[in-house]
Amino acid sequence: MGYTIDIDTGGTFTDGFFVRDTKVETVKVPTTPHDLTICLLSCIESGAKQFEATVEDMLMDTEVIRFSTTIGTNTLIERNGTKIGLIVTKGEEKGLDVVNEEDDDAPLVYPEMVRTLNGTVNEKGEITEALNREEVLSSAQELLDLGARCLVVSLKNSALNASLEQQARRWIKAEYPRDYLGSVPVFLSSDITNLLGDRQRTNTAVVNAYIHARLVRFLYKSAEDLRNRFYSRPLLIVHATGGVTRVANTRAINTYNSGPAAGLMGVAALSRQYKTKDMVSGDMGGTSFDIGIVKNGYPNFTLKPTVEGIELTTPMVSIKAIGAGGGSIAVFRGGRLSVGPQSAGALPGPACFALGGANATVTDADVALGYIDPDYYMGGKMRLDKEKALEAIETKIASPMQTDVVQAALAIRDKVDQNMGLELKAVVESMHSDTTPTFVVYGGAGSAHCCGIASYAGIKKIVAPRFASVFSASSLSGMDVWHIYSRRLGVLIKEDAGVLSASKTIDAAVRDMYGEARRDMRGEGFEEEQVKYLLEFMLSREGETPVGRITIKGVNWSENLANALQTQAPKLSEQQQLFSPLILLHATAPIPHFEEKEYKLGPSDPSAAMVRTRLMCWNEEKRSVETPVYDRMKLKPGNIVLGPAVVEAPDTTYVIRGHWSYTVDKFYNGIFEEVTT
């Protein structure tokens, strides 16, 4: 078997997970935000070195590359996307979320870049007023003259009938044909999403268009760079729905938050592995702390995600992100200490990186307290400057607080742990689980702070996966090609005691989606017998608001609907009337995976893995104490480390607080548990 390569680009580091046969290597390289193709290739070069191979030899023998990118996220945060011209139905131009009229904000669409059209579709999907060709073309021309690099057409009720949007695009494309230099991309809201909600659909189409151009340039350049180094297969892009597809089958909006989504899919795999129904995850990297939910073994999905404060309407794994990570900047102002949401990122990074950063960060505090060995950061591949960390904390925090550096570092540690822990506690409470969910922690900084986070959240058990530092990248290794299609239904599927067994509306929707799926999967290179299908019916008591869901394997819905309702939604199936406002078709096809295996448990004594002691500070008494340090690579399944202690790995540091234990289990994962006395 050849190599599989899985790469996740984060705000601070780009993580790689490389597998060939039974050998696994992990890699972390600094993210290069000015050009992500650099860190992508740097990651592959580092992986090749781990296997003592050239990049070209590795790529020639690579079966699959799965890649998640933050470029869409970065574009929205930095507000450096495409200049958009927006065309909407007359009367719909006011109060749009993506059109910010405040002078001090950078909107996705400037107010002067909006035009309106006559022409309407009513609530039944009927055209009550046709478009005027001259009005469409003059609107497009005005926007292009003002500098629009692409046009978004989002007309009222186009989810019910997209023909007016399609007519507008045909006229514009006829005026500016593709083979002319003046050709302009035209995005239709009905192409991006056919879910209801005119405002949210406009938001979704605009966000997609805003990040499209940068993403296209980056992904095609990345694919070309790989081809130039003899990689002959398609580059597969991770989607926020939990699967991967080729670049050609990827919409820009699909890539938003794809790395965190991959991590949550990995948590769902852990829940199945441990036979634990409910888990809550925390991904603490250099920039953010991303919280996810796995309920009954499935990741939490949403049809209305919020992105940078903008409500969208598109299927996406649900992630809650807060500004807390290793690079989070500590500030003391007005007698109050705050940590985050601003981050030092990869450049200039924390002060201890010695790359020009002068602010005190969480990583600087961890170095100052002795948890992180400056000479063994990233397995010794990157040396940290402890003196610069101490200087930044002294100047920015300790001196204004009128305290010493150690006390200030403890305050930074506790503040960021509290920020994350209280957010996690609120999410756990929202799950309404019968028992406290298991906390799965990952990310480069997660294992160093998980005990503090869990204490604030009221959680007593933590799973730190074997590859916690690169968990999102390792989770990619379990992903298959996955396409999701949706159609609005709004049909009655149950009335009184009878369940609908025949419907032309449902049949037509399923056939239409199935046709799309077959076409796309052929384009991905799969035969029909390799593809698995799953129908998902959203359920509502009335109207459009879903209150439940059922799934049916395959596309033969009619003979399985009644049983699915009774077994998967027993309470809802008791309703006199039940509607399905939306139906989705999931099409998946397998590609090579990394398979975890079980190991035999040995003795609990970890002393063979102890490598040294180091002075560390644990509490406000400010006493630094000699603390044992263990080598993660030498710990064996069954070993138990009692805190306070530190376990060092080449890509992360596990900090075990007092009254906590750390056990290596049969899957080689680390289990933190609060020790009760």
How do residues 417-465 score in pLDDT, each as one tens digit?
999 999 999 999 988 877 889 999 998 899 999 999 999 999 999 999 9
Task: Give the pLDDT band of residue 574 (cuts 50, 70, 90).
Answer: confident
Give the residue numbers spanning the domain of 632.
613-674
Q: Which residue has the higher pLDDT, 500 or 591?
A: 591
Please give the pLDDT value at position 77: 75
Task: Identify whether the C-beta of residue 337 lies closer than 8 Å to the C-beta of residue 415.
Answer: yes
Domain edge (last residue) among 540, 556, 589: 589
Tokens standing for residue 205: 């189409």
Task: State mean pLDDT over 170-180.
Answer: 84
Query: In this structure, are 88 and 181 located in the same domain?
Result: yes
Percent of the chain at pLDDT above 70?
97
Per-chain mean pLDDT for the chain: 90
Task: Give the pLDDT band of residue 501 (cuts 50, 70, 90).
Answer: low
Please give the pLDDT value at position 637: 97
Residue type, 34: H
The answer as to whether 265 is a domain residue is no
Please give the pLDDT value at position 167: 97
The answer as to whether 116 is a domain residue is yes
CA-CA distance, 100 to 86, in Å (whole number)?
A: 13
CA-CA distance, 178 to 168, in Å (whole number)?
A: 16
CA-CA distance, 173 to 234, in Å (whole number)?
A: 30
CA-CA distance, 537 to 583, in Å (whole number)?
A: 5
Query: In this structure, are 111 and 161 located in the same domain?
Result: yes
**In terms of Cα–Cα distance, which of 289, 259, 238, 230 is closest to 44?**
230
Q: State yes or no: pLDDT of 603 exceeds 80.
A: yes
Please give the pLDDT value at position 497: 57
Query: In this structure, are 580 and 634 located in the same domain?
Result: no
Task: Give the pLDDT band of residue 473 (cuts 50, 70, 90).
Answer: very high
Query: In this structure, are 576 and 513 located in the same domain?
Result: yes
The answer as to whether 378 is a domain residue is no
Highest mean pLDDT among 186-195, 357-366, 430-439, 554-563: 357-366
Distances from the Cα of 425 to the Cαs of 465, 541, 558, in angstroms? Answer: 21, 31, 42
Q: What is the pLDDT of residues 610-669, one digit of tens each?
A: 999 999 999 866 678 999 999 999 999 999 999 999 999 988 899 999 999 999 999 999
Q: State yes or no: pLDDT of 543 exceeds 70.
A: no
Task: Identify whether the C-beta of residue 305 lies closer than 8 Å to the C-beta of residue 287.
Answer: no
Coil, helix or strand at residue 533 = strand
The answer as to whether 318 is a domain residue is no
Q: In sequence order, what are the beta bridge partners of 415?
A: none
How many domains does the chain divide into? 4
Please give the pLDDT value at position 498: 64
Q: What is the pLDDT of residues 135-158, one digit of tens each?
A: 999 999 999 999 999 999 999 999
The answer as to whether 249 is a domain residue is yes
Query: In this structure, are 192 and 238 located in the same domain?
Result: no
Which CATH number is 42's domain given? 3.30.420.40
Task: State mean pLDDT over 155-178.
Answer: 92
Q: State yes or no: pLDDT of 113 exceeds 90.
A: yes
Query: In this structure, are 69 and 93 located in the same domain?
Result: no
Report the b/e string of 336-358 with b at 16+ CB within 10 A. ebbbbbbbbbbeebbbbbbeebe
Looking up tokens 């075990």 gives 656
The answer as to whether 142 is a domain residue is yes
Q: Radius of gyration of the chain from Cα atoms? A: 26
Query: In this structure, are 625 and 657 located in the same domain?
Result: yes
Residue type, 372: I
Strand 653-656 relative to strand 645-648: parallel, antiparallel, unpaired?
A: antiparallel
Please give the pLDDT value at position 181: 61
Number of H helices and E strands in the chain, helices first, is: 17, 36
CA-CA distance, 494 to 500, in Å (whole number)?
A: 6
The answer as to whether 668 is a domain residue is yes
Q: In sequence order, what are the beta bridge partners of 501?
A: none
Contacts of 24 (CB under 8 A, 6+ apart): 17, 18, 467, 594
Q: State yes or no: pLDDT of 265 exceeds 80.
A: yes
Which CATH number is 573's domain given? 3.30.1490
